[in-house]
Amino acid sequence: MVQALNAAMDIMLGRDANVVVFGEDVGYFGGVFRCTEGLQRKYGPSRVFDTPIAEAGLLATAVGMGAYGLRPVVEIQFADYIYPATDQLISEAARLRYRSVGDFTAPITVRAPCGGGIFGGQTHSQSPEAIFTHVCGLTTVIPSNPYDAKGLLISAIEDDDPVIFLEPKRLYNGPFDGHHDRPVTPWTEHPAGEVPDGYYTVPLGKASVVRSGEAVTVLTYGTMVHVAMTAVAESGVDGEVIDLRTLIPIDIDTIVDSVRKTGRCVIVHEATRTSGFGAELSALVQENCFYSLEAPIVRVTGWDTPYPHSLEWDYFPGPKRVAEGLRRAMEG
Amino acid sequence: MKNAVPLRLHVPEPPARPGQEADFSWVKVPPAGTVTRPDIAVDPYEIRRHAYELIRVLDDNAAAVGPWDPRLDAETVRRGLRAMMLTRAYDERMFRAQRQGKTSFYMRCTGEEAVGVGQAMALDDRDMTFPTYRQQGLLITRGWSLVDMMNQVFSNTRDRLKGRQMPIMYSSKEAGFFSISGNLATQFSQAVGWAMASAIKGDDRIAAGWIGEGATAEGDFHHALTFASVYRAPVILNIVNNQYAISSFQGIAGGERTTFAARGLGYGLPSLRVDGNDFLAVYAVTRWAADRARANLGSTLIELFTYRAAAHSTSDDPSKYRPADEARHWPLGDPIERLRAHLVARGEWSDERHGQLAAEVDGEVRDALREAESYGTLGTGEHHSPATMFDDVFKEMPWHLRRQRQELGY
Ligand SMILES: Cc1ncc(C[n+]2csc(CCOP(=O)(O)OP(=O)(O)O)c2C)c(N)n1
């Protein structure tokens, strides 16, 4: 997935002279997760560069560059470190189009590794997507595989409004089925690990049905797509697994079609439960599919605690907990 | 009006990259003893040059010279040497433990030991510290238990932080050591708040905060200076300039044409720049700043000019972004070696005693390790019960967390 993200930025830097890529350690070094490796060498330091450690400054200057007409692609080293930038994101970038009636826009892509599974403790594991989906004017994207990551990142960079692009770091080097005690499998053995060369896009705002099923709809995204697939396989429940890919704007049609068909819905995310994106999904399903529902909607999520270091795997909603959720939805 | 030349962006580049000759020709090393030592009541404006000088006490013959010589007795200096050696031995052992799979992560302060140790000795043990992850020397100098520190690193059954925090994110109110945050710079302005509180209550304790030169770019750094200046808070604000922020050299943090100490001048703070590998100089400037704070003269900004001799962390490989042998070329040497030479020059130390001390601190670390490992390591999976995960989110556990704990089976 790292190479796919790198390729997306490489292609956009090549196609559009207004694209610039910057962030902490992204220039010469190529990023702590190596996503921008080689890009500075290829495009020069005025298009791909290291920045001071100041997330608020990163986003503020990105807004200014956007006002000029550039398309900044900003890397926040970990999603956990995005908070200093939230004023620039929420009060400025997200509302610039609205308050200037389109006179100024903020065509910014903010890339940030999210999620746990690497023993990063509470400041290298968070999934803060719901903070951004709550803000009007921000598009929030979370890919679950290299093919989508590349196509979605190109779409995000081409988008004329700010996009929060969260990259599940546990997926950088391979799909993760949630069984942390088993050997890591590389992307090369996964169908979506196949990434075409060159330019292509995956549209923002479109979900993907990664497994068709009749019994229950599973709404999920990011790392949890793979965990949900494992849970479906292990539980024998015929789940229809939907990878939302873009959280806002949400692909409501795909969700409604599926829940109307199955009559049951399980929502799975790694982020904390309360006021998480699952709450919004649950409300949407209830509002749009109430008469099709045969059981209460089930949420399987991270607990409402900070992400603990040593108890990481007790925190992570693994295949067992997801399978349990599937069974509950079937019984309910 | 049209510009004669097209505008262009300046992106700072370090003097040397991998494969090139290490280059520290830009580092001006003045002779020891040449920077004046003003009275603590000095008008900050009068000493603005100090922000660009380098206060040094140990000269080329390892003698202590000049007005900043703190004139410490040999016993005190030996205590400093011992704490620095213990810090290094601890670091090396924990680094190896990480490599052996006993924990997930570790960060050493190799080459920067004089910062944590020298400054802890210059402060009162009751003073409050707001450190970064590279001031383990503070805890060690204050005599905190190595076993307790290791328990935290191993997230084991005796870890007081219950395995919640990543290794090295210690916390000890008892030791006057604020809970370390993963989010850079946050502690710097918090230190000012603690100092303001101490002033509000008419207390006699002062505070000290630390920050890396890289993190001075964060807003919290500037909030610290503003509040410290406005309220003349009894706080010492320390910038540890170890030349690197992960892969980024100090020029990316804004050090190309000025010093980090000079950041303080715009806020009207006395700002000192000190050779961070000179234990005696570090001790002396910290003492000066502490005396000012205690006399209600307000805050001092100190830049400790040093070098990160090891990798940023166990996840980092510095040979990817700096010359592999750069550390050997660092012109200010090694703090332990320099203090050892000083004691020898004073006739207060010998190779034999040094060897004995090295063996002694190694033994102390080994014994602590044996005990800590008996309580488990992250690798062995012996840690606190998952039930504890839900404690301390709030003082009283609300119903939804109780329900979630039940769902987990506890
Ligand atoms: C707010 C925030 N942004 C980014 C990071 C990631 N990060 C961790 S350490 C580090 C470099 C810090 O460099 P410096 O302040 O110079 O301290 P040093 O590590 O050299 O002691 C970075 C960028 C972080 N921990 N917090």
For residue B410, the SS3 value is coil
Which tokens is B61 given?
A: 């013959």
> Has this prediction a pTM greater than 0.90?
yes
CA B185 to ligand 1 center in whole angstroms: 8
B215 touches chain A (CB under 8 A): yes
Interfacial B residues in 365-404 facing A (CB < 8 Å): 378, 383-384, 386, 388-390, 393, 400-401, 404
Asked if the C-beta of B214 comes within 8 angstroms of chain A's C-beta atoms, the answer is yes
Calculate how far, in angstroms, residue B246's C-alpha sits from the geometric centre of ligand 1.
7
Around ligand 1, the residues with Cβ closer than 6 Å are A 24, 53, 55, 77, 81, 84; B 132, 134, 182-184, 212-215, 242, 244-246, 308, 312
What percentage of residues in chain A have a pLDDT greater than 70?
100
- Region at B66 (left for phi over 0; alpha for psi -120 to 50; beta for the rest): left
Q: In this predicted structure, what is the pLDDT of residue A72?
A: 98
pLDDT category of residue A77 using cuts at 50, 70 and 90: very high
Please provide the DSSP assignment of B229-275 as one string: HHHT-SEEEEEEE-SEETTEEGGGGTTSSS-SGGGGGGGT--EEEEE
Angle between helices B335-345 and B279-294 (to 10 degrees): 100
**Minimum-distance CB partner of B248 among A24, A84, A306:** A24
Nearest to B250 by CA among B278, B215, B274: B215
What tokens were used for B367?
Answer: 């014994």
Q: Where are the domains of chain B?
A: 44-247+258-314+329-379, 386-410
Query: Is the CB of residue A221 less than 8 Å from the CB of residue A243?
Result: yes
End-to-end distance of chain A based on CA atoms, in angstroms? 38
Could you tell me which CATH class the domain B44-247+258-314+329-379 is placed in?
alpha beta
Place of tokens 């790198």: A6
Of B17, B215, B320, the CB nearest to A53: B215
Return the residue matching tokens 């494992």: A230
Three-class SS state of B80: helix
Nearest to B47 by CA among B34, B38, B60, B59: B38
Structure-token pair, residue B195: 């100092």
Angle at B150 between CA B148 and CA B155, to 5 degrees: 95
Judge contact between A128 and A79, C-beta under 8 A: yes
B339 close to B77: Cβ distance less than 8 angstroms: yes
pLDDT on residue B86: 98
pLDDT tens per residue, range B195-233: 999 999 999 999 999 999 999 999 999 999 999 999 999
Q: Is A98 within 8 Å of chain B by CB?
A: no
pLDDT digits (tens, 9 = 90+) for B142-186: 999 999 999 999 999 999 999 999 999 999 999 999 999 999 999
> How far is it, in rounded angstroms, from Cα A276 to Cα B336?
51
Residues of A with CB below 8 A from B383's CB? Answer: 310-311
- Distance in Å, CA A57 to ligand 1 centroid: 15
Say if the Cβ atoms of A83 and B183 lie within 8 Å. Answer: yes
The residue of A309, A316, A321 whose CB has the most chain B CBs within 10 angstroms, and thus the best one to mutate to test that interface, is A309
CA torsion sign for A79, A84, A86, A88 is negative
User: B246 touching A, CB under 8 A?
Assistant: yes
Helices (H) and strands (E) in chain B, counts: 11, 7
**In whole angstroms, how far apart are CA A25 and each of A22, A149, B186?**
8, 21, 20
Tell me: pLDDT of A294 over 80. yes
| Atom number in ligand 1 closest to CA B216 | 15
Sheet of B207-212, strands arranged across? B128-130, B207-212, B235-241, B300-305, B271-275
Q: What is the pLDDT of residue A143?
A: 98
In SS3 terms, chain A reads as CHHHHHHHHHHHHHHCCCEEEEECCCCCCCCCCCCCCCHHHHHCCCCEEECCCCHHHHHHHHHHHHHHCCEEEEECCCHHHCHHHHHHHHHHHHHHHHHCCCCCCCCCEEEEEECCCCCCHHHCCCCCHHHHHCCCCCEEECCCCHHHHHHHHHHHHHCCCCEEEEEEHHHCCCCCCCCCCCCCCCHHHCHHHCCCCCCCCCCCCCCEEEECCCCEEEEECCHHHHHHHHHHHHHCCCEEEEECCEEECCCHHHHHHHHHHHCCEEEEEEEECCCCHHHHHHHHHHHHHHHHCCCCCEEEEECCCCCCCCCHHHHCCCHHHHHHHHHHHHHC
Q: What is the structure's pLDDT at A12? A: 98
> Catalytic residue among A124, A134, A190, A309, which?
A124
Tell how far CA A115 is from the center of its chain.
9
Residues of chain B with pLDDT under 50: none
Q: What integer best gives the mean pLDDT of chain B?
A: 97
Closest Cβ opposite residue A309 in set B164, B315, B390: B164
The pLDDT assigned to B3 comes to 80
Q: How far apart are CA A126 and CA A329, in angstroms?
A: 27
Which pLDDT score, from 0 to 100, does residue B1 have?
A: 72
Chain A interface disruption, residue of B404, B407, B410, most A CBs within 10 A: B404
Residue A124 annotated in active site? yes
- A311 CA to middle of ligand 1, Å? 25
Provide the β-strand partners of residue A21. A48, A73
Structure tokens at B73: 């007795």
Cβ neighbours around B28 below 10 Å, total: 9
Q: Name the pairing type of β-strands A239-243 and A208-211.
A: antiparallel
Amino acid at A262: T
- Residue B192: in which H helix or E strand, if any? helix B186-200
Q: Edge-to-edge, what's the strand order for the sheet holding A163-168?
A: A48-50, A19-23, A71-75, A109-114, A163-168, A139-141, A246-248
Sorted by sequence, the CB contacts under 8 Å of residue B209 that are 6+ apart come out as B129, B130, B131, B187, B188, B189, B190, B191, B192, B224, B235, B236, B237, B238
Structure tokens at A319: 């295949």
The answer to whether A69 faces chain B, any CB pair under 8 Å, is no
Residue of B246, B250, B307, B315 with the most ligand 1 atoms within 8 Å of its CB, for mutation:
B246
- Containing B221, the helix (H) or strand (E) segment is helix B219-231
Q: What angle do CA B239, B307, B86 make, to 5 degrees?
A: 90
DSSP letter for each residue of B283-327: HHHHHHHHHHHHTT---EEEEEE----S-SSTT--GGGTS-TTHH
CB contacts of B400 in chain A (<8 Å) are 273-274, 304
For residues B299 and B237, the answer to whether their CB atoms sit within 8 Å is yes
Decide: helix, strand or coil at residue B199.
helix
Please state, in angstroms and rounded to a whole number, the distance separating the CA atoms of residues B86 and B365: 8
What are the residues facing B209 on neighbouring strands?
B130, B237
| Residue B81 · residue B121 · CB < 8 Å | no
Q: Rounded to a whole number, what is the distance in angstroms from the first to the last CA of chain B?
A: 73
Looking at the complex, does the CB of residue B226 fall below 8 Å from at least one CB of chain A? no
Q: Max alpha carbon distance in chain B (Å)?
A: 75
Distance A277 CA to ligand 1 centre (A): 30
Residue of B214, B252, B401 lying closest to A304 (CB–CB): B401
Q: Is A49 on the interface with B (CB under 8 A)?
A: yes
Test B17 with A28 for CB contact under 8 angstroms: yes
Residue A332: predicted pLDDT: 81
**In this model, does residue A44 exceed pLDDT 90?**
yes
The pLDDT value recorded for residue A184 is 87
d(CA B277, CA B239): 14
